[in-house]
Structure 1
Amino acid sequence: MYEVRIGKVVVVAKPTAAVVLLPPWARNECAAYCLDHLASHHGRLRARRCVATSRSEEQLDAPTITGPGGRPLPITKRKKKREAARSDERRISKAAKLTLRCLMASLVLTFVANAAVIFAHALTDRRISVPGHLAWWCGDERIVYIAGSIFLYLYVLITLFDRQDTPNVAHILTWSLGLLGEIAILVSSASGKSDLTRLRIQEAADWDLAEHILAILRLAMLSGALLVCSPIAARARVRDRQARAEEACPAEMDEITPLLTRDPMAEANYHSRDSNRRPRANTATSHASQYNGADEFAPTTKEEDAAFYRPEKLQHKNWYEYCRGYKLFFQYLWPSKSRGLKGVIFVCFLLVMGQRVINVLVPYQLGIVADILRDQAGLGVMPWGELLLLLGYKLLQGSSGILGCLRDILWIPVSQHTYRALTTAAFEHVHSLSLEFHLSKKTGEVLSALNKGASVNSFLEQVTFQVGPMLLDLLLAIFFFYNRFGPIYALIVSVVSFYYLYLTVRMAATRADQRRDMVNADREEEAVKNDSVTSYETVKYFNAESFEFGRYQTAIRKFQAAEAKVTWGITIMNMAQSLVFLMGILTAAMVCGFEVSAGTRTVGDWVALMTYLAQLQGPLTFLGVFYRTVQQAMISGERLLELFKIRPTVVDKAGVQPLHHCDGNIKWDAVKFSYDKRRPALQNVSFECKPGTTTAFVGESGGGKSTIFRLMFRYYNCNSGRIEIDGNDVKDVTIDSVRRFIGVVPQETILFNESLMFNLRYANPSATDDEIFEACRLAAIHDRILSFPDGYETNVGDRGVRLSGGEKQRVAIARTILKNPKIIMLDEATSALDGETEQRIQAKLISGNLGQGRTLLIIAHRLSTITHADQIVVLHQGTVVEKGTHLELLAKRGRYASMWEKHCRAELAAEEARAATTKAQRLLRRAKLLPDARKSRKRSVEPHGYGSSPESPAIGTATPDGMITPHTYHGEPVWKFPNDNGSSISTLRNTPDVNGELLFSQQAIRQRFGKRQ
């Protein structure tokens, strides 16, 4: 046995067999080379990954993605740089392209000369007469061949000027088929089996000779075009083959992941971690990162905007891509579970087909009526039957006819179903996404993408009942004209329809950038208007009305300038469209009029022809307008699909069970977590919270306190370590069950723009009014709510702006009480409350029924509010540096003691400031500059939650339960803290111990910390 390595291709060969192990990126050429090489030395081959079974690179870049409901979603295709480079290599030289243009122009001129020969022959030879074809002695087929070829090769010539990627496969195929057709026509004519002019006179041979010469010239031109393209195509194939071989067999070996693996996810992810390449965004993650919500191998490059964001530049796509995008919505919109709606759709389809038939019958019947009226002119006979039949057809015709109205009525439940299915799926999907998405999202773009459900629904109806039927109308028109009037009229309709649509597509594409500028200017105008109106108070504060008026007028002028360019472009396009259609109607009217004058057509035929052509103007005009909107509609749909492709980073593992019971025991064991692998957020965090205890987290901002709460609530999963609730790893139970046992009071409370009762009952929809009132009493908000004019039915405004910060926090506390969780997390939950209210709520949380039997986790910056905690965890840069009770941490004289000293200094400065303010006010009152305050009025509660009284200007005292209350000792204000061992704080000069409590006077604090200057 021996092993051969060809680049990254590992070949293990035996004397009688060989196993070829190819990585997923291996190209066909490399695989074929290995197999051929081994086949020449061994009799049997077994391919572990061969060309037939290998997946395309596109599939490897982005594995199967599912959307809401598990429905498969398409792969996001991204242009690769090498494809752009190859496209540049395929571009031919200017000389070659000029040669092709000259050849195509000459080819068009040969057909024009062919038509001139026929016309000259008709003018010079008066003996021409073909029975049944008086008007077209050369035959309809000959006219269609020459006229159709002129317009066909004229379009090919236009594409050589209009497109940069020409010539392409379509050009080569057209020239090849054209060459074969010209050869067949020339051979048939030369052999005498086909008479070009369909004449039976000898003199026609001279005119045939001229046409033979023109045919030979066409053969030479088509052959020359193929010869010019052949070496270009050959060089392109060689370059492509070399490029693929270089990519398939690189010179250096860079093994990062094992080649042999049984994990399909790892197999699909094989090439996504090449250190020399940028990681692909759509590559499937491993199982670990899929459930952790934080990928250690995430790219470190600058993040691009999400795919569902509004594109700054409109994308140029072909019709196939549009149809493919339309097909993808079918799985969300088709009422697969409703037989009734399926039946309605079938009936609507029959009505649409009936409308198409009526569109054909109306002009046909009108022609019959015209012929009858002409034949019976002056006889006094009215064709009542034919007229009534025409009237019946007209009543059924059109979107406002009976069939159209009936279809609209029947389609209402289907339309509502499609809109409901798509919008609710998008809404539910956004709510299922993880916190990582919601923290980094652009809210406006997300809402805009969600609103695209209505756009997709209307687009579906347009395609189903307008675009599809109108395209069918065009096909039926061509078929009808061919059978009713002949191939010449079918050619006229085909040419007019094609060039009308081509002109619309090309001119609309050239106006795409102008339209983008107009849309962006409109968005900017709306943004300026919205910002100015929402910032009304700021504008008034700085007297900036004139500036805002000018800024808005500038935005309007910018929008109007862009709008004028778009309007000019649309006007020019409409003129061009009308000109093309008018030329088609004029040509058909002249040809049919000539035949009527020659006696081969009737007046009724001419009336039917004009009526049908007039009916075709509607579909053509709509298709022109529709193309201008289809691009934006499909982009809207793609934005919605891209939003569907975003997957939540934290999901339940397969087969996990819910957490049925919770006592509140929390344990963290060596937890590590990082939002970005370059900067860890938590490192080896370990602590344990017993049921019914209080744990406080303190530290500087960015130390990891909020991250602990987020991991606790399963917004993220840790990268390593374990987070347990009652001995269960939170990853091994469902996310929903964990969150049901946890109540969170955030620092910034967001309320719905509804009544207070709605926001309170949101936590527990089954709660009674009495339970809600009791919860509000416990949160000290009940009396305040009753003071509102509307009481509990008071609307709180957008995000709760009509309530103060303290009122919103108390509402949040009341909601948490109604949820009745076993674990309560308070994130600066009382930071906006006044001191008196905070003390009341703290007392209820500590010794009252709010905290009884519950595990409390508290984040606090005011250290005085957590001195009662059973455990204080000090965090610094994501690491637990200290852990213990308040007195234990003070005794350690570490980071917590330093924070406490700073806190004391701040409180001392605040007290001195309050004393100075009181003294100043007293002096002002003595000078009669201020009115006397009522003696019964109590001093207002100070910030930071510390109350005081005139009798005791103390900083405050800490009772054994941790609450701050005024206290004096021998007439001197002091702080009083619980003393467990009598020596917890020996750095401060203390006053005598009284009743087992250690007292600290302001004099001792000033001596320790110094007096504020």
Structure 2
Amino acid sequence: MRHGQTLPDDDRPLNWRILSRLWPILREYRWRVIAALACLLLAKGAVIAIPFLLKHLVDGLDATAGIELAPLLVLGLVLAYGGARFANVFFGELRDTIFGRVTERAMRRIGLQVFRHVHSLDLDYHLNRQTGGLARDIERGVTGISFLMRFFIFNIAPTLFEIAMVAGILLLNYGPQFSVVVVVAVVTYGLFSFRATEWRTRFVREMNQADSISNTRAVDSLLNFETVKYFANEAYEAGRYDESLAVWEQARRKNRLSLFTLNGGQALIIAIAQTVVIGLAAWQVRAGAITLGDFVLINQFMIQLFMPLGFLGFVYREIKGSMANIENMFKLLALRPAVVDAPDAQVLDSTANSVSFDNVSFAYQEDRPILNQLSFTIEPGKKLAIVGASGAGKSTIVKLLFRFYDPSSGTIRIGGQDISQVTQHSLREQVGIVPQDTVLFNDTLFENVRYGRVDASREEVENAIRLAHLDAFIARLPDGGDTLVGERGLKLSGGEKQRVSIARTILKGSPILVFDEATSSLDSRSERAILDSLAELAREHTSLVIAHRLSTVVDADQILVLDQGEVVEQGTHTELLRRGAKYAELWQAQQSRAAGETAPIAVLN
């Protein structure tokens, strides 16, 4: 299923997906599951023994029953009653403790699976995702799976077993009238609970959707707080957030009222059944058909029966709620990336460093072509620059080289290997990039540089920092390389972030380097220093430079001028100026603009 499609609003395939993912974990921890089930049986055995102990104890204390128990026997029954109570709680807690490891491992495995799956999805998905809602859907989905594992195994089946046991005991010992009332009550309770829960599940979905929307809006606003401040739109953002909270509040109200209806109906069914059973028992005591101990036993069984029955209703409601919660998570897992490795994909040759585009065409939308039969080759160790106006398709070339998208037609090769036939991981290991927009992790400066190669030594990281001319800046910081850069690197300027990105790429040490407007955020002095370092670095690498400022690519071995997805000129800087065509026009325009920007400074000086 591709993203953008939705699964049918049906829980049955969702159940199957859950079980198929949980079964390997249950099988791996089968001895823990067996031990937990043994504790469950012991706990249930203690529960069933309690009413019988009470019956014999009451009959032994009832002078009218004609049964007189020895003091030691009475003491034994009392101690046995206390032991059964303790055993019920103890084995229940032991069961949860033993099975907790299985539940925690399932949450970890599935959480990791979703995390990896989201990273495997293509760029188009990530450009359209809503981070806040996505995080909330994953959190609720993983929690819902934990609930299903615990309660589906240890509550639903055991409760049904207990109901059958109680109905059988009442039938054999006290006649069909008691068991008939129990069976009718359980069936009525079950039908009402299932129907009412199905009815209110849509309110749970509405509430979760509203919760995700409000969370997404809050996260989006906080991530862009600088923009909010620039335009003084705090009140506007608060108003939008309040609108989403109002929808969430309304959904919560509907959910609460539907829950009141469900709980009220269940309580009425239980109250009627218990009243009828106790009334029958009281009548038979008065008639002398059963003893006072039997009355206590029946009453205790009804209490013990309807407590798990009430809990069964809760469990079913929560299971339906969990199904609604994990619905979006399984839709997410059902998405398939548009770009996948070929079944027989090879590892890209680590010595390959030539790049060629052969008649490559591409369009994000069919009616809006971006590249049209683009062809060029970068020889090993050479530097090729691509220039052109905004929207000409320069950055799209980078996305295709990293295989974030596949071309509509044509072939891209590295070292003669078609990149669609090699693994994406090996491809991206061979290509380093300094992007136009650098986003850093909320970690230290040093660790952000080390991200280029996470197993690099401290000396290697420091060398990359020097080559990127970042060492002087770090030396001025109170905490040096241990300075936290803030969320998305907001504590650094644009130029400082770009130098971190350059250091990160230098550390990666890939044979092919891509610079996508790599110095766009630097001042002229810093730009010159970094260009000198990059020129030295590029001697041993194949370089692709995407540039808007032509002054940064005058030393390129080859320059392509791109216009509306086609190469309209190519050559060296000198050759293109001599022709006096498109490149020369761009050069003259930029030189005039630069002269105009410096003129006021000269006057002031």
Find the aligned partners of 1:371 and 1:812 in 2 and give their Cα distance.
Answer: 84
**Aligned-partner residue type, residue 911 of structure 1:** T
Select which of 513, 526, 547 maps to 1:824: 513
Residues in 2 aligned to 1:668 and 1:396: alpha-carbon distance in whole angstroms? 74
For residue 911 of structure 1, the aligned residue among 593, 598, 601 is: 598
For 2:207 and 2:597, the matched residues in 1 are separated by 57
Which of 240, 258, 271 lines up with 1:582 in the alignment?
271
2:424 aligns with: 735
Matched, 1:369 2:57: yes
Q: Which amino acid aligns with 2:559?
A: I
Contact 2:355-2:414 within 8 A present in 1 as well: yes
**Between 537-546 and 324-333, the greater mean CA deviation after superposition:** 537-546
- In 2, the alpha carbon distance for the partners of 1:542 and 1:435 equals 30
Displacement of 1:614 in angstroms is 0.8
Structure with higher RCO (Cα < 8 A, 6+ apart): 2
Residues 516 and 647 of structure 1: is their aligned pair in 2 closer, same or farther, counting only changes over 3 Å? closer
In structure 2, the residue matched to 1:383 is: 74
Normalised to the residue count of structure 2, the TM-score between the two structures is: 0.91
What does the per-residue CA deviation read over 1:788-846, in whole Å, with 9 as the maximum and x for residues that have no partner? 11111111111111111111110111111111111100001110011101101111222
Residue 682 of structure 1 and its aligned partner are, at CA, apart by 1.7
- Would you say the 8 A contact 2:441–2:486 is kept in 1? yes
| Structure number having the greater helix percentage | 2
Residue 122 of structure 2: aligned partner = 434
Equivalent residue runs for 1:549-698 within 5 Å: 560=249, 563-698=252-387
Q: Does the aligned pair in 2 maintain the 1:307–1:639 contact within 8 Å?
A: no
Q: 1:654 to 1:551 in 2, by over 3 A?
A: closer
More displaced, 579-588 or 388-397? Answer: 388-397
Q: Contact 1:334/1:418 (CA < 8 Å) preserved in 2?
A: no
Larger radius of gyration: 1
State the AA in 2 paired with 1:369.
L
For residue 659 of structure 1, give the secondary structure of its aligned residue in structure 2.
coil
| Mean Cα deviation higher: 822-831 or 895-904 | 895-904
**1:729 shift after superposition:** 1.9
Unaligned ranges ≥5, structure 2: none
Distance 1:855 1:433, change over 3 A: same
The aligned residue for residue 249 of structure 1 is: none
The counterpart of 1:871, out of the listed 521, 540, 558, is: 558
TM superposition shift of 1:886: 1.4
Whether 2:411 is the aligned partner of 1:722: answer yes
Give CA-to-partner distance per residue, 1:52-107, whole Å, 9 cap, x none.
xxxxxxxxxxxxxxxxxxxxxxxxxxxxxxxxxxxxxxxxxxxxxxxxxxxxxxxx
CA 1:473/1:558 → structure 2, altered by over 3 Å: closer, same or farther?
A: same
Does structure 1 conserve the Cα–Cα contact (< 8 Å) formed by 2:468 and 2:499?
yes
Deviation at 1:443, TM superposition (A): 2.5
Deviations 1:518-548 (A, max 9, x none): 5555556556665666666666667767777
Listed as ranges, the matches of 1:447-526 within 5 Å are 447-451=135-139, 452-516=141-205, 518-519=207-208, 522=211, 526=215
Following superposition, the deviation at residue 565 of structure 1 comes to: 4.6
Q: Against the structure 1 CA distance between its residues 556 and 877, is the aligned structure 2 distance closer, same or farther, given a 3 Å change threshold?
A: closer
Which consecutive unaligned segments of at least 5 residues does structure 1 have?
1-280, 283-303, 920-1013
Q: Does the residue aligned with 1:334 lie in a helix, a strand or coil? A: helix
Query: 1:133-152 to 2 correspondence within 5 Å?
Result: none
Cα pair distance change 1:764/1:915, threshold 3 Å: same
8 Å CA contact 2:14–2:330 kept in 1: the answer is no
Shift of 1:685: 0.8
Q: Does 1:880 align with 2:567?
A: yes
Give the C-alpha shift of residue 403 in structure 1. Answer: 0.6
> Please, which of 404, 425, 444 is the counterpart of residue 92 of structure 2?
404
Q: Within 1, Cα distance between the matches of 2:236 and 2:339?
A: 47
Amino acid at match of 1:481: L
The answer to whether the 8 Å contact 2:460/2:507 transfers is yes
Question: Aligned residue for 2:106?
Answer: 418
Aligned partner of 1:373: which letter? L
Deviation (angstroms), 1:345: 0.8
CA, structure 1 residues 560+728, in 2 after alignment: closer, same or farther (shift >3 Å)? Answer: closer
CA distance in 2 between partners of 1:815 and 1:427 (Å): 24
Cα distance, 1:863–1:774 mapped onto 2, change above 3 Å: same
- Kindly indicate whether the alpha-carbon contact (under 8 Å) linking 1:335 and 1:417 is maintained by their aligned counterparts in 2: no
Residue 435 of structure 2: aligned partner: 746
Where does residue 772 of structure 1 map in the other structure? 461
Cα distance change on mapping 1:632 and 1:667 into 2, 3 Å: same
Residue matched to 2:83: 392
For the 8 Å contact 1:423–1:454, the answer to whether it is kept is: no
* CA–CA distance in structure 2, aligned partners of residues 859 and 539 of structure 1: 31
Moved more, 656-665 or 531-540: 531-540
The answer to whether the 8 A contact 2:498-2:519 is kept is: yes
For 2:112 and 2:563, the matched residues in 1 are separated by 44
- TM-score for the superposition, normalised by structure 1: 0.56
Deviation at 1:441, TM superposition (A): 2.5
User: 1:307 is matched by which residue type in structure 2?
Assistant: T
State the secondary structure of the residue aligned to 1:359: helix
Q: For 1:743 and 1:533, locate their aligned partners in 2 and report how far apart those are by CA, in whole Å.
A: 31
1:700/1:486 CA distance change after superposition, 3 Å: farther
Counterpart among 328, 344, 347 of residue 32 in structure 2:
344
Alpha carbons of structure 1 residues 774 and 455: separation in structure 2 relative to 1, 3 Å = same
Q: Deviations over 1:410-438 (max 9, x none)?
A: 11321222112211111122222222322
> Do residues 803 (structure 1) and 492 (structure 2) align?
yes
2-structure distance, mates of 1:413, 1:492: 40
Q: Are 2:452 and 2:504, in contact at CA under 8 Å, matched by a contact in 1?
A: yes
**1:333·1:421 contact (CA, 8 Å) conserved in 2?**
no
- Residue in structure 1 matched with residue 42 of structure 2 by the alignment: 354
- Mapped contact 1:749–1:812 kept (Cα < 8 A): yes
Answering whether residue 6 of structure 2 is matched by residue 307 of structure 1, we say yes
| CA-atom RMSD in angstroms | 2.8
Q: How many residues align?
A: 601
Please give the alpha-carbon distance, in whole angstroms, between the structure 1 residues aligned to 2:206 and 2:300. 41
Q: What's the offset of the Cα at 1:643?
A: 1.8
Offset at 1:658? 1.6
Deviation at 1:765, TM superposition (A): 2.5
User: Does the CA contact (< 8 Å) of 2:167 and 2:182 recur in 1?
Assistant: yes
Please identify, of 429-438 and 854-863, the stretch whose mean Cα deviation from structure 2 is larger.
429-438
Any residues of structure 2 matched to 1:210-289 within 5 Å, and which? none
Aligned residue for 2:368, secondary structure, equals coil
Displacement of 1:586? 1.0
SS in 2 for 1:346: helix
What is the CA-CA distance between 1:697 and the residue it aligns to? 0.7
Change (3 A) 1:519 1:667: closer
**Are the structure 2 counterparts of residues 733 and 839 from structure 1 closer, same or farther at C-alpha, using a change threshold of 3 Å?**
same
Are 1:449 and 1:640, in contact at CA under 8 Å, matched by a contact in 2?
Answer: yes
